Amino acid sequence: MRHATLSRPPLFHVAERATGRVTLASDTMATAHIFVLEEDVVRLLLLPEGTVKGPPSWAIAPGAEDVAEPGRDRMSVEGFSCPDCLVTEGGGQVVVETARIRLTIALEGFHCRWEQRDGEAWRTMMTDRPTQSYDFGWWDGRVHHHVARPAGERYYGLGEKSGEMNRAGRRFRFTNLDPMGYDAESSDPLYKAIPYILVADAQNACHGAFYDIMGEVTVDLGQELDNYHGHFRSMVAESGDLDLYMIAGPDALSVTRRFTWLTGQPALMPRWSLGYSGSTMTYTDAPDAQARMQDFVDKLEQHDIGCTSFHLSSGYTSIGPKRYVFNWNRDKFPDPAAFVAGYRSAGIELVPNIKPAFLRDHPRFGELAEAGLMVSDEEGRPTEVQFWDEVGAFIDFTKPKAAAWWRAQVKAALLDYGIRSTWNDNNEYGVWDARARFDFFGSPRPASEARPLQSLLMMRASRRAQMENEPGQRPYVVSRSGMAGLQRYAQTWTGDNRTDWKTIRYNARMALGLALSGVSNSGHDVGGFAGRKPEPELFLRWVQAGVLMPRFSIHSWNDDASVNEPWMYPAHLPAIHRLMALRQKLIPYLADLLWRYHHDYEPVERPLWLDFPEDEASWADGDAYLLGSGLMVLLACDPGVESVSTRLPQGADWIDPWTGDRHRGGSDVVLAAPLDGLPPVLARVGSAIPVDLAQGGVRPQPFARGLWLFPPAGEGEFDWSFHEDDGATDKPAARWSGTCRSDAEAVEVTVGCDAPGTFGDGEITIVLPLGDRREISVSGRSFDALEVEGRRAARAKVA
């Protein structure tokens, strides 16, 4: 229903109460459903014309690994506890209240005020602007939400976005694009579309606001000013419904965990995905591709560098100069199975690039078109789009037959040759033709209503093929594009970045935005993908940053056809070797962080303020962040620097693991950042970091379970724990745990394990910081006192 001019505002009243839902009806066609899902999660579904217009949801999957086809019904409350709530109506308003959230709605005109419990008081989260917050059929038929923007309010999250972490004052489009060589400081849009805002008020109290809309969305966080409406921010969607999830804090960490839970359980990846992953387009584009690939393995051996996977770029699919998914170029790779087996024998898993677009001269194009499996117009003609080498058409994953066809090809072209993983690339679905339709499981809709869904369904289909091929084994799926919930299926990275010093800084902030938006298992193309070859200093700084991310891949398509490789600068190989060994040493810590992410929804990369919200200085954007709660990473991302500095957050003290130096929380610190040394990091006092004490190299060394312990200098006590599993299956993890008590003279540790170690033996070596010469003992168990790399240590064994 559309009105030519502004008419009087609708008048609402409570029309129905059901489990987890309060429905308001109006004297027009407008309907509002308020869903009380959890004590800290309340949802508003506002329907100006009374009915749901948008497609089912694929973002919401509370604590679940998947969403069933055809998507989640917008009226469903499945998976939520739906607690009792207090509903009162009177005085021209209705109030819906849980123990954590209170929503007050003015019935005339529909004006909302959201509040959250903060101790004994209620604190305002969000208030609709006083004038025309929604389009009740007055304007352009799009979805509008305009809210007041108080002074001092800041905005974080929003998935993968460029620039500073605080997004205030900017406007963003949420659609999926392939912006190769993007500017990490300013480009927009990028590859992923997650319209989720973590809001911090002037007192640093936080809440989350998620718009579950798959159509194109524009979020304005104060860039636009309008004299007639006061200071406001807005969300405008080209299609769909206003479907808003509000998550109460007030602490940002609990909001982040809740949003991750809301959008689904993160997939647990195989342990081999945590090692160094090689990649470049140059090898597979070469006519002697297999020889170039073998040369890579030989160089790993020559330089004693460990590598557990290789992202196989799309040149392996070429026919002439073009790329054709699911085709093996037999001139380049005469025997794919032998090639895969050869890499496997070297301890390297291949991760092959696959793309959802089929060029119109692809050998299988006619088959797909005839079967109606492509994105098409209303007459069933495939919608042509521009791709790399030629125009083509995308497969339509909202057609179950198309998804089944895709799974069959993944198996026949890749998995049957011994491959165990898929690299889902170029899946942004740049379908801009207004005539294009997605099938939506038998209920066709314009493609513009859900472009990001196709990338999600692509990784879902690829993952399912891998699970069917090797039941009980953890699949590895990596995807460039995505939407909210992509963590259920895949690891991701920040796409085809530009070789530039500032990219290190702003890619790191992108990763933090992703982690705050539920997507922690991520990384970057180390060295820069597009543009010039990185000079030695830039390359080393990028590797220093990359070894401390969940995904560590050196990848490139340099303008001069050179390749970013660990040995590209022979003079700096000793430094590269030290960094690669550090990566392997930290794999148990990274595995534990990702286990906690999978089971407890704990973000892996964390801004300082996530753990130290009371420290005002920690909210300033900087080049320091937390890796888990135990390590602080300080990036060196400017040329010519020899040190890095930061202000340490109040609330914890810190130890330099490379020197043993101690630093007080709340103080300014300057750390040496030698170009040929280990990256500047600090460990939190009271933390314990599981490590592999074996030296890193090209061949996996016998596992040596270690625990870097960081006790206070004087009296103190803390608990520690970490998880350890076989890294390949869903078998339960062992949980190692204990306590640490210290005084000025000694450190006493207790050690326990609630299940046998799943790899290695039952030994664990406790290691004190460098320079800490206190006596160390293990209470209740026999132990051997020893020195490890110049540090006091004790080795104990559990049954």
DSSP string spanning 706-736? Answer: EEEEE--SSSEEEEEEEEE--SSB-PPPEEE
Q: How far apart are CA 546 and CA 570, in angstroms?
A: 19
Buried b (16+ CB within 10 A) or exposed e, 742-766: beeeebbbbbebeeebbeeeeebbb
Tokens of 39: 């004590």
Cβ distance 388 to 425 under 8 Å? no
Report the candidate in 259, 260, 161 with the shortest Cα–Cα distance to residue 207: 259
Secondary structure E strands in 505-642: 523-526, 530-531, 551-554, 557-558, 605-606, 624-627, 631-634
Residue 7: the pLDDT is 64
Q: How far apart are CA 127 and CA 681, in angstroms?
A: 41
Q: How far apart are CA 354 and CA 479, in angstroms?
A: 10
Report helix, strand or coil for 147.
strand
| Helices and strands, number each (H, E), in the chain | 12, 54
Cβ distance 472 to 730 under 8 Å? yes
Cβ distance 374 to 368 under 8 Å? yes
Residues 6+ apart with CB under 8 A from 85: 22, 36, 96, 97, 98
Query: What are the residues facing 745 on neighbouring strands?
Result: none
Report the candidate in 396, 375, 535, 369 with the shortest Cα–Cα distance to residue 455: 396
- Strand pairing of 681-684 and 631-634? antiparallel
Cβ distance 544 to 633 under 8 Å? no
DSSP string spanning 114-139? Answer: EEEEETTEEEEEEEB-SS--S-SSSS
Residue 6: the pLDDT is 53
Secondary structure E strands in 63-153: 86-90, 93-97, 101-106, 111-118, 121-127, 143-148
Please identify which residue in the block is written with the tokens 């293990």: 778
pTM of the model: 0.97
Lateral strand order in the sheet of 523-526? 491-492, 476-479, 421-424, 349-354, 309-312, 277-280, 551-554, 523-526
Cβ distance 174 to 221 under 8 Å? no
Q: How far apart are CA 178 and CA 494, in angstroms?
A: 11
Report the candidate in 445, 505, 515 with the shortest Cα–Cα distance to residue 637: 505
Q: How far apart are CA 798 and CA 501, in angstroms?
A: 48
Residues 6+ apart with CB under 8 A from 530: 180, 181, 496, 497, 498, 499, 557, 559
The enclosing H or E element of 744 equals none
Residue 757: the pLDDT is 62
Mean pLDDT by 10 residues, the chain (799 residues): 59 96 96 98 97 98 98 98 97 98 97 96 97 92 97 98 98 97 98 98 98 98 96 98 98 98 98 98 96 97 96 97 97 98 98 98 97 97 93 98 98 98 98 97 98 98 98 98 98 98 98 98 98 98 98 96 97 96 97 98 98 97 97 98 98 98 98 97 98 83 92 98 95 95 97 80 94 95 92 93
Report helix, strand or coil for 644.
strand
Report the candidate in 103, 67, 526, 98 with the shortest Cα–Cα distance to residue 262: 67
